[in-house]
Amino acid sequence: MSKTPASSPPSRVTANVVRGCLGNLIEWYDWFAYATFSVYFAPVFFPEGSQTAQLLSTAVVFAVGFLMRPLGGWLLGAYADRFGRRRALTLSVLLMSAGSLVIALSPGHDVIGLWAPALLVVARLAQGLSVGGEFGSSASYLSEVAPSGRRGFYSSFQYVSIVLGQLSALLVAIVLQNTLTEAQLASWGWRIPFVIGAVAGLTVMYLRRTMEESAHFQKEQARAADGERKGLIALFKEYPRQLLAVFGLAIGGTVAFYTYTTYLQKYLVNTAGIPKSTVTVIGFAALFVYMLLQPLVGALSDRVGRRPVMFAFSIGCMVLTVPVMTFLGHTSNPWVAFLLMTLALAFVTGYSALAAIVKAEMFPTKVRALGVGLPHALVTATFGGLTEPIALALKQNGHETVFFWYVTGCVGLTLLATLLVREPSRDSRLESDLDATVTPAKPSATTPA
């Protein structure tokens, strides 16, 4: 059996984290390429209506992809808990790349009519299944291969790779915006990033096949009693309070993340009236700072605990969301927009840097990928996927400011969940599972107080 994460050389830990994160990067590059380039391809698939109506149509398809995430969280999470994190992560990147290839090659509405948006929906369903399974498997893997006492730091690289994927999509956008005309981008240039994602996915699929399997999973496979209950039945019967805790912790963080990353770029174009190319640069710079903050906040949580950091996120975003969004909607100054976006994202880091570890610590190895992935996917499907459609629909009906309060309320639910849970790092299942004997694991004490 391989060494435990606690005794693994730093080089091995780093190598495994890098290989895991590269796949995560490509997955999220593909996912965010849709959001980044939707302002260009919306008329190709949905030629009727105003700019807001076209963006709303593409946002609805974006949300449709989210509907598959719970199914992905269930199927790929259960697959990861039964057959290994490495296998599940390899399968998820294959699904994502296939979806990108379909989008890249799909004819427009003027060629095949309603089949164009239908193909777009199919591609997003495949990608939604992929991302739904990616989060739980990736969070479990990164948390398990990290050494004790530094799990917050290493697991924070999950969101480093997520943001790096988004930055990669934005970088491609910046290059294309400076090499192609607006007409060329709208006609065929928007297909290029999806071709890049599909090709890169093949390389990453090979890299993921070379990752070492988690020592936690290997020990669980050797330890598990024959006929021991796993999967959904074990999850719901033995860990219901942990599931509720993950739901509550994820709601506000998910809505805030998609508000200040995905939707905010459209908001700056559609409400503030800042040019698309300028908004792309603003988003790239703010997200780059946000990415650098992840490991710093993750390391901080290793020293002070997870709850204080989550409190900082919740309280900060509840106080700042309404004024920040209001100012952003009325500014045409790109520097002001950058500073306000960066300020908001700095507080969101309090959630995103801990999103993997704070959930992974609540579940034992036998259901960790499923326990982390399924509730997170359900939250992103019901809250994250609807963030843009709700915001755009409220704008179209003249009630845009209501959305700011909606975000504030969702973050308030995370504040409540943070108040009700015990400190996860003090009773981490990641630590107890390494010391477990062959007796079946009992439900964690890391539950709502």
Of 260, 262, 271, nearest to 52 by C-alpha is: 271
Is the CB of residue 133 less than 8 Å from the CB of residue 91? Answer: yes
pLDDT-based confidence at 291, cuts 50/70/90? Answer: very high
Of 66, 71, 54, 40, nearest to 194 by C-alpha is: 40
If phi > 0 it is left, if psi is from -120 to 50 it is alpha, else beta; for residue 50 that is beta
- The per-residue pLDDT for 1 is 35
Report the percentage of the chain scoring pLDDT > 70: 87
Residue 13 CA, chain-centre distance (Å), reads 22
- The per-residue pLDDT for 292 is 95
pLDDT-based confidence at 299, cuts 50/70/90? Answer: very high
Calculate Rg over the CA atoms of the chain: 21
Domains and CATH numbers, the chain: 12-434 (1.20.1250.20)
- Convert the pLDDT of each residue in 392-421 to its tens digit: 889 888 888 999 999 999 999 999 999 988
- The per-residue pLDDT for 193 is 92
Has residue 9 got a pLDDT over 70? no
DSSP state of 383: I
Q: CB under 8 Å to 397, separation ≥6 — which residues?
A: none
What's the sign of the alpha-carbon dihedral 375, 80, 35, 292? positive
CA 2 – CA 218 distance, rounded (Å):
8
Q: Which two tokens stand for residue 334?
A: 């790109």
Has residue 96 got a pLDDT over 60? yes
Scanning the structure block, which residue is given the tokens 């997520």? 162
Has residue 345 got a pLDDT over 70? yes
Is the CB of residue 371 less than 8 Å from the CB of residue 240? Answer: no
- The per-residue pLDDT for 431 is 67
- The per-residue pLDDT for 442 is 42
- The per-residue pLDDT for 140 is 85
Q: What is the pTM of this model?
A: 0.80
CA 34 – CA 391 distance, rounded (Å):
18
**Residues pairing with 249 in the sheet:** none
Has residue 370 got a pLDDT over 80? yes
Q: What's the mean pLDDT in 347-374? A: 90
- The per-residue pLDDT for 447 is 44
- The per-residue pLDDT for 285 is 92
Q: What is the DSSP string of 69-97?
A: HHHHHHHHHHHHHHH-HHHHHHHHHHHHH
Has residue 210 got a pLDDT over 90? no
- Convert the pLDDT of each residue in 127-154 to its tens digit: 888 888 888 888 888 888 888 888 889 9
- Convert the pLDDT of each residue in 14-52 to its tens digit: 777 887 788 778 877 887 788 778 778 777 777 666 566
Is the CB of residue 67 less than 8 Å from the CB of residue 385? Answer: yes
Q: Which two tokens stand for residue 43?
A: 């008329």
91-116: buried (b, 16+ CB within 10 Å) or exposed (e) per residue? Answer: bbbbbbbbbbbbbbebebbeeeeeeb
Task: Specify the 3-state DSSP secondary structure of 152.
Answer: helix
Has residue 438 got a pLDDT over 60? no
- The per-residue pLDDT for 54 is 61
Has residue 295 got a pLDDT over 90? yes
Residue 401 CA, chain-centre distance (Å), reads 25
- The per-residue pLDDT for 434 is 59
CA 147 – CA 430 distance, rounded (Å):
10
For residue 100, give the amino acid letter: S
